[in-house]
Copies of this chain bind each other. A is one copy, B any other.
Amino acid sequence: MRATPVSFTEDQMASVKFGADGLVPAIVQDATDGCVLMLGYMDSEALRRTLDTGRSWFWSRSRQEYWCKGETSGDRQWVRSVSYDCDGDALLLVVDQDGRGACHTGERTCFYRSFGPDAGSS
């Protein structure tokens, strides 16, 4: 797949309201079928890197560092669009997902467990 940078205006960038911790949640959705793959967090720099490179960049709250999805695993995300919500405090990325999927467990989506009588609890 090929990286396609997303152009943006500073007005658009200014519409994003980062929280007290400097972060906004970013939902990642598969372009092929709409499957919600994962949720990560971006600060201003991660968002700019995402738009500039056409790859998904996040801020890891646990490791306190930037990470580019799939850089080590190979499960890369090629960004097709980036939207922000009415309040400007959440992002939605639509991506082409490489490899097995988005989850480090090997599942396609991180949301592979559901509440319910027959659902796994582990």
Contact surface of A with B, Cβ cutoff 8 Å? 6-9, 11-12, 15, 25, 27, 29, 33-36, 38-39, 51, 81-87, 90, 92, 103-105, 107, 110-117, 119, 121
Contacts and interface: CB of A to CB of B under 8 A. Distances in A.
Given A11-B121, A82-B115, 12 more contacts: A7-B115, A12-B119, A38-B85, A82-B114, A83-B112, A84-B111, A84-B115, A86-B110, A87-B110, A90-B110, A90-B111, A92-B111
A33 B36 contact: no
| 6 smallest beta-carbon distances between A and B, as pairs | A34-B34, A11-B121, A85-B110, A83-B111, A8-B115, A39-B90
9 contacts: A6-B116, A12-B113, A36-B36, A39-B85, A84-B113, A84-B115, A85-B111, A86-B105, A86-B107
Contacts of A103: 86
Contacts of A87: 110
Nearest to A15: B121
A2 to B, nearest CB: 17
A105 B83 CA distance: 16
